[in-house]
Amino acid sequence: MLKKAGKKGQVAIFVIVAIVIVAAIGIFFLVRANIGASNIPTEFAPVYSYYESCITFETKAALDLAGSQGGFVQLPALEPGSAYAPFSNQLNFVGLNVPYWYYLTSNGMVKQNVPSQSDMEKGIADYVAAHLDECDFSQFYAQGMTINYSKPSVVVNLDNSKTSVVVSSSLSVSRNESSARRDKHSVDINTKIGKFYTLAKEIYAEEQKNQFLENYTMDTLFLNAPVDGVEISCSPKVWKSNEVASQLLTALENNIQSIKFQGNYYDLKNKEDKYFVVPKTVDENVNLLYSKQWPTKLEINGDGVDSQLMVAKTVGNQPGLGVMGFCYAPYHFVYDLSFPVMVQISDNNELFQFPMAVVIDKNVPRQSNAVSIDETKTFDLCSGMNQDLSANVYDINLNPVDADLSFKCFDQVCPLGKTSNGIFNGKAPTCLNGYLITRADGFVEKKDLISTNEQNSIDVILNKNYNESIELYVDGTRFTSGNAIVLFNGANSVSTTLPDNSNVMLAEGSYNLSVYIYGNSSITIPASTKTQCTKVPQSGIMGFFGSTKEQCYNIDVPETSIESALIGGGQNEVYLLPSDLETGKIKLEVSSLPVPTTMDQLQNNFELFSTKGVDLQYGP
C-alpha cells in the first residue's frame, strides 16, 4: 500500500513541474513580445511616444479626409457628366471633389454610392499604414539610436465619441548594450466622425423615404415660376426663359439653406420658419447647401416655349369667340430639374459632408427608392457599344465640319466622340430607331434617325447658324420703345423681344414670321357672373343605374384691367437663304393698329392683325 501511494505522489509532482515549466515559457514569450509596454527603458520611451503621436497625426488626417469627402479617404474613379445629366460622380466643392451618395450618371441612370462603416474604417487604416513610413526618426538617430520596424498592419474602429487604432508593427530600438521592442501600438482619438457618419446615413434614409428635398423644390417651383395657371388677359402672357430660370435657381439657393432639422442648434425668427423644419430630430448641427453655380439641369418645355420666351397664348380674342365677354391666357409648362445638395454635419472643428442629387422629372418628384439599390438590375446601354458606325459631317457646301457626336436610344444618351476633318469612325450601341445627335459650334444641332443594327454609315448636313440683328419699323419709324415680340416659327423656332434683345440666331429654312406690338391700355373688364351647368349622377338607386341630372353653379369673374394691348404687327411666311442671312441684319416693317379703349376695339385689333403683313429686308 505504501509503495502504491508513493507512485501516485511521484506522478503528481511531475504534473506540477510540467505546468510550472509551460507557464514560465508562456510568461517569457509574453514578456518578450511586449517588453517595453510597461518596462520600456526611460531612454527609449520618447521613441515610442513619438511613434504613437505619428499614428495619431496620420489618423486625424485620414479622418479629416473621410469627413470632407463623404466617408471616402480614397476617391473613386471619376465618372464624367453629360448634357443629359451634368453631374459627374463627384461634386467640386471649393476645390475639393466630394463623391455623391446619390446622383444621375451621364446617361441619366440613377445611382447611389454610400460607403459602409467597414469601408470607412478600411480606408482610414490603409491611409495610416501607407503614411507611417513618413514618420521622421532623425532626431533619435542623431542620439545614436538604431531603430528598426516592420511593415505595419492597421485596424481601425469607429465609435460615436472616439476612434481606436491598433498598429501591429515590430518596432525595436537599441543603443550600446540597451534595447527595447514593442509589437503593438494603440491610440484612441476623441472624434465624432463615427457619430456624424451614422447621422448622415439617417438623413440620407429620410430623403430616400420621404423626399423632403424634392417636396421643398416643388413648392419653390410653383411659387417662383409659371407652371400651371390662367391669366385674365387679351394679350399673350410672356415670360423670358432666362429670367424664369434665374429667379427659380436663386429661390432654390435661398430656400435650401433655410432647411433645418428638429433640434436646438438654431432659433426660429418667426412662426413661418417652421415650414423649413424637417420632422426628424438631430442632436448635431446640420446644414444644407446649394449654389446655382454647381452643375444643374433645368429644361422648360410646353406649348409656346423656346430658348428665349415662354408664351401663354390667349383664348377669347379669336374671331367667333367675342361672345365670351373676356379673354384669358392658359398655360402649362413642364420642368425637368436636377441639382446637387450638400449635407453638412459639424461641431467645432469637425465636419462630415456628402452631396446628393435632387431630381424633378416633368413636374413630378423622382419616385422614392429604397436605401439599398440593386445596381445589377440597371441596364447601361452605353456600356455595350458594339456596332461599327461611320459618319461624315458637312456644311451645306459639303465642306467637312468637326462636331461632337452622341447617340440617343430610348432615354439614354451615349457620347460617341468627335469627328476629325468631318469624319468619325467608332462604336455605337445596338438600337432600333435611335438618333444620332450632331453638335458643332456655329451650326444648328441635328438629329438623324438611324437604326445601328441595320445601318453603319451616315452623312450629316449641318445648317449654319447666323447671328442676326433685328431692326423693327412701325409705319416707317424705328421702333425704340414699348414691347414687341418677334417669332420665327419653323423647324428651328426662335423668338425675341424688342427693344431689349435685338439679336437672334437663325438658320436657312422656312418660317412663319409674326410680329406683335403691345402698348399701354386702359381697358377694364367689369366684374361678371356666369352660370355653368354640368351633368352629375342622381342620388339613390337611379344614380346606381346611370341616371343623371343637370346641376348648375355660378362662376364669378372679377374685374380685370388689361395693362397691355395689341397696337400693331403682322405675319408672313418667309424662306431665309444663307445669302440673305450672311448680311447679319434683318429689317422688319409693320403697320400700327388703333389703340383700343374697349373690349370690342381690342377684339377688332386681333381680327385686323391676321390681315396685316410683314415686310422683310436684308442688309445694312
Q: Please report, in angstroms and rounded to a whole number, the separation of the first and last CA atoms in the chain.
A: 138
Going from the C-alpha of 189 to that of each of 38, 156, 157, 192, 477, the distances in angstroms are 21, 11, 11, 10, 80
131-146 pLDDT per residue, tens = 998 999 999 999 999 9
Question: What single letter denotes the amino acid at residue 609?
Answer: F
pLDDT at site 33: 43
Q: What percent of the chain has pLDDT over 70?
A: 83
Q: What percent of the chain has pLDDT over 90?
A: 56
User: What is d(CA 473, CA 301) in angstroms, rounded to the nearest whole number?
Assistant: 32
Identify the band that residue 17 occupies on the pLDDT scale cut at 50, 70 and 90. Answer: low
pLDDT at site 372: 40
CB atoms within 10 A of CB 614: 19
CB atoms within 10 A of CB 394: 14
Three-state DSSP state, 221: helix
pLDDT at site 40: 83
Q: Which residues contact 534 (CB under 8 A, 6 or more apart)?
A: 550, 551, 552
Tell whether the model's pLDDT for residue 25 goes beyond 70: no
pLDDT at site 378: 46
Identify the band that residue 316 occupies on the pLDDT scale cut at 50, 70 and 90. Answer: low
Identify the band that residue 34 occupies on the pLDDT scale cut at 50, 70 and 90. Answer: very low
User: What is d(CA 483, CA 198) in angstroms, rounded to the nearest whole number?
Assistant: 57
Sign of the alpha-carbon torsion through 116, 122, 128, 130: negative
User: What is d(CA 526, CA 22) in angstroms, rounded to the nearest whole number?
Assistant: 109
40-61 pLDDT per residue, tens = 888 999 999 999 999 999 999 9
How many Cα atoms occupy the beta-carbon half-sphere of 457 within 13 Å? 2
DSSP of 100-164, one letter per residue?
-SEEE-TTS-EEE-PPPHHHHHHHHHHHHHHHGGG---HHHHTTT-EEEEPPPEEEEEE-SSEEE
> Greatest CA span in the chain, whole angstroms?
144
pLDDT at site 531: 65
Tell whether the model's pLDDT for residue 532 goes beyond 50: yes
pLDDT at site 15: 53
Do residues 498 and 472 touch, judged by C-beta distance below 8 A?
Answer: yes
108-117 pLDDT per residue, tens = 778 889 999 9
Q: Which residue has the cell 474604417?
A: 121
Identify the band that residue 322 occupies on the pLDDT scale cut at 50, 70 and 90. Answer: very low
Q: Which residues contact 312 (CB under 8 A, 6 or more apart)?
A: 226, 231, 236, 237, 238, 304, 329, 330, 331
Three-state DSSP state, 547: coil
Do residues 268 and 274 touch, judged by C-beta distance below 8 A?
Answer: yes
Going from the C-alpha of 609 to that of each of 262, 571, 594, 613, the distances in angstroms are 59, 8, 11, 8
Q: Using only C-alpha atoms, what is the Rg of the chain?
A: 37
Tell whether the model's pLDDT for residue 122 goes beyond 50: yes
Q: Which residues contact 420 (CB under 8 A, 6 or more apart)?
A: 402
Tell whether the model's pLDDT for residue 287 goes beyond 50: yes
Average pLDDT, the chain: 84
Asked which of 265-269, 278-282, 591-595 is least confident by mean pLDDT, the reply is 265-269
User: What is d(CA 79, CA 109) in angstroms, rounded to the nearest whole number?
Assistant: 13
Asked which of 206-210, 500-504, 542-546 is least confident by mean pLDDT, the reply is 542-546
Mean of pLDDT values over 3-15: 51
Mean of pLDDT values over 471-482: 91
Closest CA to 125 of 171, 185, 63: 63
Identify the band that residue 551 occupies on the pLDDT scale cut at 50, 70 and 90. Answer: low
343-395 pLDDT per residue, tens = 999 997 899 999 999 999 889 997 654 444 333 344 567 877 889 999 999 99
Closest CA to 288 of 222, 216, 193, 350: 216
Tell whether the model's pLDDT for residue 168 goes beyond 80: yes
Q: Which residue has the cell 441684319?
A: 585
Q: Which residues contact 300 (CB under 8 A, 6 or more apart)?
A: 241, 244, 245, 310, 333, 334, 335
Asked which of 34-48, 393-407, 511-525 is least confident by mean pLDDT, the reply is 34-48
What values do phi and psi take at 100, rounded to 5? -70, 145
- The pairing of beta strand 387-395 with beta strand 457-462: parallel
- Per the DSSP assignment, residues forming a β-bridge with 488 are 494, 513
Question: What single letter denotes the amino acid at residue 472?
Answer: L
Identify the band that residue 492 occupies on the pLDDT scale cut at 50, 70 and 90. Answer: confident
Q: Vertex 266, ends 262 and 268: CA angle to 5°?
A: 85
- In the 8-state DSSP scheme, what is residue 324? G
Three-state DSSP state, 592: strand
Tell whether the model's pLDDT for residue 185 goes beyond 60: yes
H helices of 225-373, in order, are 241-258
Identify the band that residue 148 occupies on the pLDDT scale cut at 50, 70 and 90. Answer: very high
Q: Which residue has the higher pLDDT, 340 or 110?
A: 340
pLDDT at site 13: 60
How many Cα atoms occupy the beta-carbon half-sphere of 387 within 13 Å? 21
Tell whether the model's pLDDT for residue 317 goes beyond 60: no
The set of cell numbers assigned to 218 is: 416643388
pLDDT at site 32: 45
Do residues 359 and 215 touch, judged by C-beta distance below 8 A?
Answer: no
Q: Which residue has the cell 450672311?
A: 582
How many Cα atoms occupy the beta-carbon half-sphere of 80 within 13 Å? 4
H/E element, 351: strand 350-361
Distance of CA 225 to the CA centre of its chain: 19
What values do phi and psi take at 326, rounded to 5? -160, 165
H/E element, 543: helix 541-544
Identify the band that residue 593 occupies on the pLDDT scale cut at 50, 70 and 90. Answer: very high
User: What is d(CA 582, CA 359) in angstroms, rounded to the nearest whole number?
Assistant: 42
pLDDT at site 203: 96
pLDDT at site 173: 94
Identify the band that residue 326 occupies on the pLDDT scale cut at 50, 70 and 90. Answer: low
CB atoms within 10 A of CB 40: 18
Mean of pLDDT values over 488-500: 84
Do residues 442 and 404 touch, judged by C-beta distance below 8 A?
Answer: no
